[in-house]
Every structure is written in structure tokens, then in C-alpha cells.
């Protein structure tokens, strides 16, 4: 099997059908759909069981766990996945009907000097309007996740990582916390020299709902300080020459814990000087003041 479409779900029974319909419409059915239900209290489970009984042309695997956050669901999914590529598709989004076929074609076309972690397409608000930037030039770019800004690859993309690569980079799981940004793992993979081949075709249609992680704001950082600290340390390693990236990361951790930790404690946690930490906080204040 070439692709595992992985969906973490939490109380999305009202919208997940859109994704199911798009999977049924796929031109290439060489995939499985693996859903990890992160402790839903709605009808998500009943819907999935109804669909499992249908002749869909692809396997549907449904696992229900205690609520622990998307990163724990991904860890569970990676352990259970049978596909060569692991393609995360959120429960409020859906795919174009050629998405799986394109992923397989892109994977089979990989060649060159780089060590690849997977392939990626674009996300859109629809099939025409890109989320983020539509890079110009060739149909694809080979770049590490940490090189996206330099290559006009800003904005959410549709990445499919090799499952075997993800098994080497599990998300950390901290007690009493339920969020670690995916960027932490993607940048850890990039820091070890892995590339993705980024294609310009839109294969993933995205909705940013009010109950989604994207719109949950600073609360997810304040409530998950150890997860933020893990991300900061990855950022410091992944962007060794980018003062801007490092200062921004340090300030994010400071903002998450400033109500209970001194700046000296913040600096100790990150393993940097107090002066560097103060500089990060000052830079963030100036940026907000002058809207830089």
C-alpha cells in the first residue's frame, strides 16, 4: 500500500463527511484511511462505522483514544500505518479527486542527490486559490522544511512524509499537556538533512474553523509550555544562522511562561544567556510597537 491518509478527529461528526466523500471520489484507491478519534463525545464513531460497512474501494481503520492532542494521535497513527507515505488530512478538510494519484506519481518520480523525507503539494481555499504562495518557475522545488521562506513556500502545504522517516521522529508527549506544534518535528527532520519535493498543484482544500487548532491562538502555548520549549530548542538547532528566527522562538516561550517564571528561569530552560533572552523580549516589543 502506498499511502496512509491519516485523520485525527475530535468532535467533527458535523463535517468529516466532506473528507469521506472526497476519498470515495479518488481516481486511485491505493490508500487506506486511518482515523484516530481523540476522545470525541459526538457521533464521529457511529459515522465511521457506517462507512466501514460500505464498499468503498479502500480500507477504513478507526481507533478511539482518550483525549490527548493531535500530536499523540499522530504518534499512534504512525505506529499503525501500513502505507509508505503518511498523509495528514484534518477532519475539516478534503482532497481533490486526483490527490492520491498525484502523491503516488510524485513519490515514484523522486530522484536526485537529496535525502528525501517525502513529497508535498499545495493547499487551497478551493481548486484555484492558493493558501500561501504559489511559487513560479518549475513544477516543483526540492527544499528542506527550514528553507521554505527562501523558496517562496510560505503558507500551509500538503505534505506526505515517508512513514519510516516519521517513525524515527516521534512527537514528545508531556504529562498534562496536549499540544506540540507539527513544525517542531518537521524542522527536526529538516535539521538532519532531509528534503521534501514541493509541487505547485493544489491537492488539499482547507477550512480554518473557529474550533480548530489554527485559530486557538496563544492559549495553546500558555497551556503547553513544555511543548513550546521543545519547539524552541528545535528552532535553535534548525536555524543556527537566523537571529530573527531564534529571537522569535525565545520570545514565544517567554510569553507562554512569563506569568510563572522569571526571565532568568526562561534563559536557563532554553540554555541561553539572560542577555540574549532580554534581547528577544525587547525585539518582540519593538516589533509590536512599530508594527515591523
- Tens place of pLDDT per residue across the chain (292 aa): 799 999 999 999 999 999 999 999 999 999 999 999 999 999 999 999 999 999 999 999 999 999 999 999 999 999 999 999 999 999 999 999 999 999 999 999 999 899 999 999 999 999 999 998 777 668 899 999 999 999 999 999 999 999 999 999 999 999 999 999 999 999 999 999 999 999 999 999 998 876 555 555 689 999 999 999 999 999 999 999 999 999 999 999 999 999 999 999 999 999 999 999 999 999 999 988 787 6
What gap in Å lies between CA 222 and CA 91, rounded to an integer? 25
Three-class SS state of 97:
coil
CA atoms within 13 A on the CB side of 217: 3
* pTM of the full structure: 0.94
Q: What is the 3-state secondary structure (H, E, C) of 30-79?
A: CEEEEEEEECCCCCHHHHHHHHHCCCCCCEEEEEEECCCCHHHHHHHHHH
Q: What share of the chain is helix, strand, coil (3-state, %, to 5)?
A: 40, 20, 40
**Residue 100 parent element (H or E):** helix 99-108
Query: Quick one: CA dihedral 157, 162, 165, 166, positive or negative?
Result: positive
Nearest to 91 by CA among 33, 187, 16, 2: 16
Q: Which set of grid coordinates corresponds to residue 73?
A: 494521535
Please state, as a whole number, how many other Cβ atoms lie within 10 Å of the Cβ of residue 149: 12
The phi and psi torsions of 33 (rounded to 5 degrees) equal: -110, 115
Nearest to 6 by CA among 95, 77, 100: 77
Nearest to 124 by CA among 34, 19, 186, 208: 208
What gap in Å lies between CA 30 and CA 3, rounded to an integer? 7
98 Cβ partners below 8 Å, 6+ apart? 26, 27, 28, 203
**Residue 118 parent element (H or E):** strand 115-124
Q: In the chain, what are the domains?
A: 3-207 (3.90.550.10), 219-290 (no CATH)
Pairing of strands 31-38, 3-9: parallel
Amino acid at each position: 500500500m502506498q499511502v496512509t491518509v491519516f485523520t485525527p478527529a475530535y468532535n467533527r461528526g458535523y463535517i468529516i463527511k466532506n473528507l469521506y466523500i472526497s476519498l470515495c471520489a479518488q481516481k486511485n484507491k491505493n490508500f487506506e484511511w486511518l482515523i484516530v478519534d481523540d476522545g470525541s463525545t459526538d457521533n464521529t464513531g457511529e459515522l465511521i462505522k457506517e462507512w466501514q460497512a460500505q464498499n468503498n474501494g479502500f480500507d477504513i481503520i478507526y481507533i478511539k483514544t482518550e483525549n490527548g492532542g493531535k500530536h499523540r494521535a499522530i504518534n499512534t497513527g504512525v505506529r499503525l500505518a501500513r502505507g509508505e507515505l503518511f498523509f495528514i488530512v484534518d477532519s475539516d478538510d478534503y482532497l481533490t479527486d486526483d490527490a492520491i494519484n498525484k502523491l503516488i506519481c510524485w513519490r515514484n518520480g523522486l530522484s536526485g542527490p537529496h535525502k528525501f523525507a517525502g513529497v508535498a503539494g499545495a493547499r487551497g481555499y478551493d481548486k484555484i486559490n492558493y493558501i500561501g504562495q504559489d511559487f513560479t518557475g518549475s513544477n516543483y522545488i526540492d527544499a528542506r522544511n527550514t528553507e521554505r521562506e527562501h523558496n517562496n513556500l510560505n503558507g500551509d502545504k500538503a505534505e506526505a512524509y515517508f512513514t519510516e522517516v516519521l517513525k524515527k521522529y516521534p512527537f514528545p508527549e508531556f504529562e498534562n499537556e496536549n499540544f506540540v506544534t507539527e513544525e517542531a518535528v518537521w524542522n527536526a527532520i529538516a535539521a538532519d538533512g532531509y528534503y521534501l519535493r514541493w509541487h505547485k498543484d493544489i491537492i488539499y482544500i482547507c477550512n480554518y474553523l473557529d474550533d480548530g487548532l489554527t485559530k486557538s491562538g496563544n492559549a495553546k502555548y500558555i497551556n503547553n509550555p513544555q511543548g513550546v520549549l521543545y519547539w524552541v530548542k528545535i528552532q535553535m538547532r534548525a536555524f543556527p544562522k537566523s537571529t530573527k528566527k531564534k529571537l522569535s522562538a525565545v520570545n514565544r516561550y517567554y510569553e507562554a511562561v512569563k506569568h510563572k517564571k522569571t526571565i532568568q528561569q526562561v534563559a536557563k530552560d532554553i540554555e541561553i544567556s539572560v542577555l540574549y533572552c532580554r534581547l528577544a523580549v525587547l525585539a518582540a516589543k519593538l516589533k509590536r510597537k512599530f508594527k515591523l
